[in-house]
Amino acid sequence: MDPSDPTVVVRIAGEGGEGTITLGDLFTQLAATSGLEVYSFRTYPAEIKGGQVMYQARLGVDRVMTEGDEANVLVAMNQQAWADEHTDLCSQAAIIHEATVRVPASNHQTYAVPAEVISDELEWPRGKNFVLLGALTWFFRLDSDTVDDLVRDRMGHHPESVDKNLAALHKGYAYCRQTFPEPFRYTVALPETVEERILLSGADAMALGALAAGCDFYAGYPITPATPVMESMAKYLPAFGGRLIQVEDEIAAINMAIGASYAGRRAMTATSGPGLSLMIEGLGLASIAELPLVLINVQRAGPSTGLPTKTSQGDLFLSLYGGHGDAPRFVLAPDSVKDCYFQTIYAFSLAERYQMPVIVLSDQSMASRQETTQVPGLPWNGPLGRIEANPEQLGSSFQRYAFTESGISPMTHPGTADGMYLAESLEHNAYGYPDQTPANHEKMMAKRARKVETARKMLADWRMTSRRWGDAGAPFGIMGWGSTRGAVREATKVLQEQGLPIEAIYPHTLLPMPDQAISDFISSKRAILVPELNFSGQFGRMIEHRYYKELDELGVHIYQQKKEQGVPFKVREILEATMEMIEKERGLWDRAHGELAGIFNTARRLRETYSGGGHCE
């Protein structure tokens, strides 16, 4: 094991439908239960059966921030798994494979496990993955009682198969224990004290965040990869006094949520790209009628049906600008599983307080992965509520859309006596009645837009609007958003350890942008790398567009790093792009780079070290 990287990356590959994901999930849970920190990633085909599935889990004693680049251990359930996944392994990886898979001789250590033969002997061909779970339990020297309990607990809803699965698990364990008694290169020493951790997915984090924020209405339509949010809400919402309804399409989902919001509920929906496209008209309604609404978008790769099960950050423009006319909304971007919980709570706060739709931009990789994390508490300021009209404001002169300095007008809901008002999709006056005169339209547009500015001011004191780390004032920086933070966090850690100063910032509110924080960050930089998982570099463009004056005046260069492959960034890719940026800057700053010489030289050295990959042990 590489002493500088005390984590192990386990990659499990097999065909969809042969239990690859179950194996990955159970192994991840076993590692977590045993006291390790884990971080997983899954990529799977859009089909229920067939197609190759890859599950990667990274284990460590300290906090793990990404799923890792090259794998230390590959579990190949079939020949195709080997073919697909052997190219980015560590040089001395351990290959645990189904015995029929042909693995050519190399530096890798191979372990043939006759999973098919064992499961056939048990007349339980579906138990192949459990044989391999037994194998992994042995190789990592994890506790066999713990894994038994886990299987009983997890698979308890299929009582007829639990015994068979356990039998397969035991056979696999026994076979490996007997055949491979020698110590395993990648066994992680378990910590002596087990910290309190939960194993949380991004989807569950968002559902629980919604419950913590008092969400009591959910309307949704199934869509990969957002469905798990709905399923968690379906399980818990009734116990919290809320209602969940699965409706006929995404258009119905958003309109029903808007109706419930009008009725006074804390309403939400969750969807993914194609669903968001369908919801855009409804988003405009919530914006003009000034009704609170939380919309979680678990991004997947598009356009159109695209890559339904693969990750992307390609919906930023749609979220920020989607729709006809100028319809103010908020857009939040959680940057970790735990942050999914907090940003969902903030989304409700912003929606309810500012009477506006809020989009939470998550993505497939973050929503479907599992991560060990501490139990999140309630945010420091608790969820904010609506500003309700007081009795003096009610009556026939009640101005539901009163022009105020903040842009926020007191609201009522059905049942409030003398609070009757019309929520209009047409342009309307302060009373809510249609009014399409030029002066009124202008005033109303400004009133609604003003709420964003009011929020921007409030958010300036809100410490969760961005996350900044690294060497304060370092000349080179990285600015990103959303789920890519893990890879960037790890890259900055490597750079700092290697003596290259670097600073990074991840805004959590993309609309409104935390301008103060961003301007402050920009002001100390020579160049900023903007990595993101989409084809056109939407965030980078937005940054260039919004801050072009400062960037021009200060001569700060933006380097876009765009990746649209359906998979997350590798840490190595961030490192390479950073070094490339610095190398380019070296050319630009040749005559006046006295104080930067050290950085340039370090970057050049690191560039040689990190190019080509496969450097892990």
Chain residues binding another protein by CB under 8 A are 29, 32-33, 35, 194, 196-200, 204, 208, 211-212, 217, 219, 235-236, 238-239, 243, 245, 247-249, 251-253, 255-265, 267, 281-282, 284-285, 289, 372, 375, 413-426, 433-434
Q: How far is the CB of 355 from another protein (least distance, A)?
A: 14
Cα angle for residues 206, 210, 215 (degrees, 5° grid): 155
For residue 77 the two structure tokens come to 């359930």
Q: How far is the CB of 413 from another protein (least distance, A)?
A: 7
- Smallest gap from Cβ 377 to another protein, in A, equals 10
Please identify, using beta-carbon distances, which residue of 93 and 200 lies nearer to another protein.
200
User: How open is the CA angle 89-93-94, to the nearest 5 degrees?
Assistant: 130
Query: Which CB sits closer to another protein, 210 or 491?
Result: 210
Q: Report whether 125 contacts 140 (CB < 8 A).
A: no
Instruction: Choose between 51 and 259: whose C-beta lies nearer to another protein.
Output: 259
Phi-psi category of 214—alpha, beta or left, where left has phi over 0 and alpha has psi -120 to 50?
left
Work out the burial of residue 201: count CB atoms within 10 Å of its CB; fewer than 13 is exposed, 13-18 middle, 19 or more buried. Answer: buried
How far is the CA of 21 from the CAs of 96, 463, 477, 562, in angstroms? 16, 37, 37, 29
* C-alpha distance from residue 48 to each of 16, 309, 437 (Å): 7, 11, 55
φ and ψ of 539, to 5 deg? -70, -45
CB of 222 to another protein, least distance (A): 14
Q: Which is nearer to another protein, 146 or 516 (CB)?
A: 146
Other CB atoms closer than 10 Å to residue 230's CB: what's the count?
Answer: 25
Closer residue to another protein in complex, CB, 284/302: 284
Rounded to 10 degrees, the C-alpha dihedral 116/122/124/129 comes to -50
Q: Which is nearer to another protein, 284 or 379 (CB)?
A: 284
Cβ neighbours for 210, distance < 8 A, ≥ 6 positions apart: 218, 233, 268, 294, 344, 348
Identity of the residue, 29 or 492, whose beta carbon is nearer to another protein in the bound complex:
29
Task: Name which of 103 and 234 has its Cβ closer to another protein.
Answer: 234
Tell me the C-alpha distance between 346 and 448, whole Å. 20
Q: Which two tokens stand for residue 339?
A: 């942050």
* Nearer of residues 354 and 398 to another protein, judged by Cβ: 398
Reference 594, options 492, 496, 478, 475; nearest CA is 475
> Minimum distance from CB of 369 to another protein (Å)?
15
Q: E-assigned strands of 99-176?
A: 109-113
Q: How far is the CB of 423 from another protein (least distance, A)?
A: 4
Q: Which is nearer to another protein, 73 or 411 (CB)?
A: 411
Q: How many CA atoms lie within 13 A of 279 on its CB side?
A: 35
Is the CB of residue 252 less than 8 Å from the CB of residue 271? no
3-class state of residue 35 by DSSP: coil
Closer of 393 and 524 to another protein (Cβ): 393
Q: Strand 509-511 to strand 330-332: parallel, antiparallel, or no bridges (unpaired)?
A: antiparallel
Strand order in the sheet with 503-507: 466-470, 503-507, 476-479, 527-532, 557-562
Task: Report, in Å, the least distance between residue 382 CB and another protein.
Answer: 13
Least distance (Å) between residue 162 CB and another protein: 19
Residue 231: CB minimum distance to another protein, A: 14
Q: Closest separation between CB of residue 483 and another protein, Å?
A: 21
Closest separation in Å from C-beta 375 to another protein? 5
SS3 258: helix
